[in-house]
Structure 1
Amino acid sequence: MDHYTHPASQHPSVSTVYPKNLVSVPGRASFWLRRFLAFVGPGYMVAVGYMDPGNWATDLQGGAEFGYTLLFAILLSNIMAVILQALSARLGIVTGHDLAQACREWLPGWLRMPLWFTCELAIIACDLAEVIGTAVALQLLFGFPILLGTVISVFDVFLVLLLMRWGFRALEAFVMTLLGIIAVCFGIQLVASSPEVGEILKGFLPSSQLITNSDMLYVAIGIVGATVMPHNLYLHSSLVQSRDYERTYDGRKEALRWATWDSTIALTLALFINAAILIVAAAAFYRTGHHDVAEISDAWRLLSPILGFGLASTLFAVALLAAGTNSTVTGTLAGQIVMEGFLHLRLPYWARRLVTRGLAVLPVLIIVGFYGQGKVGALLVFSQIVLSMQLPFAIIPLVMFVSSRKIMGAFRLSRPWIIVSWVVVAIIVGLNLKLLNDAVIG
């Protein structure tokens, strides 16, 4: 099993991307919970991407227009996300390469630049959603104009720099704290909305309406297509290497088990939050006849009056600001990982962040300046379409790598899991192509 020691020993991403030394792992004689907690963190960093403003928009629309029926789409997308993130962790732990480095190492050279370019587009598109979410949250909480909120969002680079000075565990703690705030905010709103438990359980079951109702199918595709973020696969395959586990067969086997549990539990939290957004929308808007609520600002305006709970709208906006701020941290790391992995090029964090955020801010400033803030929602949808276009370029190489005996050795996926993985790829690619085709034609 020494075959696995040589690639990881180089630690190609750990030595440059992470702000401090590897996170220590207690010895094998330690209690299992202590060892597991040492691996907790990367999954929550990744979970941030599963509750960005793009998800909020589709969840709100689904709940307001169709009630609880589309909870099944959220559940299905979350199951596929759990599988893909587990594959991403497997690649990083076993080979010592993140997905970007693996593409550079094991794919033909002519593919390197196109893959890097599409990935950068996806990161900018994701950053665009963060800019919009942060600007809208600042407007809802403090009355700032969208343009001012957009400009303020550029300065989050200083927050990232400060956190990186404190070390990688500080980054993870910050992200997990904000995720906790989001969960608490929606937990309170969930209780205040008094949803029908029976209808919720029924919503998690597949319904024939998903096929027969074309409008419902379109929103369902939007929910699935906006859930799995391409940059998360690059990010996770790198973050799992931040732990100081033994680079041996047994060490990797244990690291893989704990990393999979970490991401699965974290994505279960993401499932709760996405489901809570849809459930609150269904209970507050669908039940009261407000079926046309699709904009985040409309949901904020109506929540408190409908629920009769004065803090409902405030909690909604706080959660949105926390989601946008969280994505800042993971977006910076993902951008650095992708650039280093594909190009062996490293920029200072502040420069990398300002370039990406600047490219994301520009279209917001142009659209709002010329057409007003009413077009911000359309720009948010556009960012999700760009993400959908890039997704196949991330998941297809990932499944190819983890299915290869030459690359993975004894850690190669079993035949049943290879079949399951390609089925997931086929579903996601098919749904994203359908979403893209409908969006272009529409």
Structure 2
Amino acid sequence: MARVETIPELYDTTIWKFKAEGNANITLSYVGENARFSATVLRLRKDNQLDTIIDSCSYVNSVMKPLLGDEYVGESILLEIRPEFLKALSKSILKMRSNNRTQKDIDHNQKYALLMSDHTMFPSNISPTLSVELKPKCAFLPSSPLIENFVKLQSCRFCMHKYLKQGHITRYCPLDLFSLEDKRIRKAIDALIDCPRNNLKLFIQGMQIKIGKENWPTSLCKFFEVDYSELDDKKQQYVIDMFIALLIQAIKEEQYLFRKLKTLQKTLDELDIEGINKLLITYQPKLSELSLEEWKLIVDEYVKRTATNNSNNENAREFMSTMEYKQIRQRIYEHLMSATLKDCSIIFSFRKSDMRDVARQNSHSSPIFQNKERLQQISLSDNYLDRSYVYKVNVIDLDPKPLAKLPYYQELDAKIVENYLKCNATNNSKCSE
């Protein structure tokens, strides 16, 4: 069960500062003086969201954690809140929000907020923190016969999706990131730096740095302790290369996580949205949002099936015509789990290492949380400063996806295929696993 707390000292709008927001949630950073709440954030739901029966905290703990592992999914607390506090918060952060986001306000009727670790910070301020948020989105080739005939080599759906975007066309392919090969990871990170959109975010001391903004490598200079008084192109490239080298090393150290995430995204979505949509035509009236106990059964059945069956997409689609209702229902909810994992983010946070990290036995957390975050040590050398760093890694944005989103996924998939074919882009979107 999710841990529920009532903490009177947190119901003060002056101790919360706007940090970030997406379409569904707003995140606030704790800026008060109580060390118990250092490096924590408060996440609040916005208006007009499609609720599920269970709360996000319970879903993450009981569905996502067993799949990804406790070491990668942080602890959350359900903080009881009242409408008057939420209304006051809405007013206090309004000026800090982007104009294109203010059409959705904080939902004043929600009874709980999520209190979580700020994964872009460390609880102690030993040295500056550099954090990197990656949204890998490793989705695979759709089942459309038109695409399969048009593109003989496998191409990831993300590379098709990029043609929906206006303006710059990203060169980023998630399969490069998931390859765990130095050159391909470097290629992916270079492409993200060139066109980050929402797939790469940088934070220094919890504050987001706008990649591409004039002299943005100055922030990297501060972290790596490189003189930036004369920041020419050569020095800028030097600190960017240091950043890339550090991130590549951390990604390769966490290859278990990347392989696990890639496998989950693929095996939970063996039928693809086109296959799922065919099943929904007949069976959607029989389906409803699941309770927490029902979600646990879905996870158990998935684990059982994948432990004894290494089927691929093609075999799964052939099996569709003989599926019983129980199997169909299982695959539809698995697809929703895959949607969560395709939309998640991975956050790496780095800081210089010192002897106190050894004393902590490579684990730490904010005092309010019961679990301990795992710290790993890595070093930069060769052409860079010979220095040791500690890092932590967490997977975030693991909220449940409601059944009502399935028509949207089908519509998006159709647009991806349509735009990909219009672009005639086979020559520059060849991907390989």
Q: Please, what TM-score do these two structures have when normalized by structure 2?
A: 0.29
- Greater C-alpha radius of gyration: 2
Higher strand share: 2
Bigger fraction of residues in helix: 1
The structure whose RCO (Cα within 8 Å, separation 6+) is larger is 1
